[in-house]
Amino acid sequence: DAGVIQSPRHEVTEMGQEVTLRCKPISGHNSLFWYRQTMMRGLELLIYFNNNVPIDDSGMPEDRFSAKMPNASFSTLKIQPSEPRDSAVYFCASSLTQGTQYFGPGTRLLVL
Amino acid sequence: EDKVVQSPLSLVVHEGDTVTLNCSYEVTNFRSLLWYKQEKKAPTFLFMLTSSGIEKKSGRLSSILDKKELFSILNITATQTGDSAVYLCAVVEYGNKLVFGAGTILRVKS
């Protein structure tokens, strides 16, 4: 199994630009999670989907952040417009319902 | 507010030492507790604990959960430099939502 796949692995952009992060979950998993990790705040859950439906987006920082899951094998997290304080590592994880979450390699985002 | 508290925040030991990492939690709808190891990349899964008093073991690592006192411990015996990492504790709530602790930074010196 290829595991959770994320792209890009690294992204450097300028403030105000749109950023789109992509995730392909493990085949057969029906839950998908987006996390953000920073030194200051640790690992934070942003949003998660169950069977492609957003269940809890209370962790999404503000309206500049949006996430979609158009099908069982693909999800995006979009930041528009990006700000320097969005710089972090963004992880996607997937699982079976009530199962262990397996993390992707992460996208390291730097907003200048 | 749901929370997961890990202690100590950081720890430095010598190779061969035994370490115990602590995780206490206060969550509304507890399902299970997970331990992860994070080196430079993504967290990797170590253990899932759902029942009190049953020790999970994998090589030199072991973990146990106390649902009455709301805590878990992760033990590492005969530590090696490769054990150096951040160890994360997370509690699984309803709908498979995870609440993470801040982590314990472990450094094993040779």
Q: Give the pLDDT confidence of A28-50 residue by residue, as tens digits.
A: 999 999 999 998 888 888 999 99
Q: Give the mean pLDDT of A89-112.
A: 91
Q: How far apart are CA B28 and CA B3, in angstroms?
A: 10
Q: Give the mean pLDDT of A66-88.
A: 96
Would you call A50 and B92 a contact, using CB atoms and an 8 Å cutoff? no
Indicate whether A25 pLDDT > 90.
yes
Check residue B27 and give its pLDDT.
86
Q: Give the mean pLDDT of A67-92.
A: 96
What are the backbone dihedrals phi and psi of residue B96, each rounded to the nearest 5 degrees, phi first?
A: 70, 20
B96 vs A: CB within 8 A = yes
State the CB neighbour count (10 A cutoff) for residue A98.
Answer: 13
B86 vs A: CB within 8 A = no
- In this prediction, residue B94 has a pLDDT band, given cuts at 50, 70 and 90, of confident
Q: Give the mean pLDDT of B92-107.
A: 86
Q: Give the pLDDT confidence of B56-91 residue by residue, as tens digits.
A: 999 999 999 998 999 999 999 999 999 999 999 999
Would you call A50 and B48 a contact, using CB atoms and an 8 Å cutoff? no
Indicate whether B2 pLDDT > 80.
no
Check residue A101 and give its pLDDT.
87
Q: Give the pLDDT confidence of B33-46 residue by residue, as tens digits.
A: 999 999 988 899 89
- In this prediction, residue A96 has a pLDDT band, given cuts at 50, 70 and 90, of confident
Check residue A62 and give its pLDDT.
84
| Contacting residues for A41 by C-beta, under 8 A, at least 6 apart | none
Would you call B97 and A48 a contact, using CB atoms and an 8 Å cutoff? yes
Q: Which amino acid is at A24?
A: K
Q: Give the pLDDT confidence of A47-67 residue by residue, as tens digits.
A: 999 999 998 888 898 899 999
Indicate whether A26 pLDDT > 90.
yes
Would you call B42 and A106 a contact, using CB atoms and an 8 Å cutoff? yes
- In this prediction, residue A21 has a pLDDT band, given cuts at 50, 70 and 90, of very high
Indicate the residue of A91, A95, A98 with minimum beta-carbon distance to B42: A91
> Min CA distance, B88 vs chain A (Å)?
9
Q: How far apart are CA B40 and CA B100, in angstroms?
A: 18
Q: Give the mean pLDDT of A87-110.
A: 91
- In this prediction, residue A1 has a pLDDT band, given cuts at 50, 70 and 90, of low
Would you call B34 and A100 a contact, using CB atoms and an 8 Å cutoff? yes
Q: How far apart are CA A11 and CA A47, in angstroms?
A: 21
Q: How far apart are CA B63 and CA B77, in angstroms?
A: 11
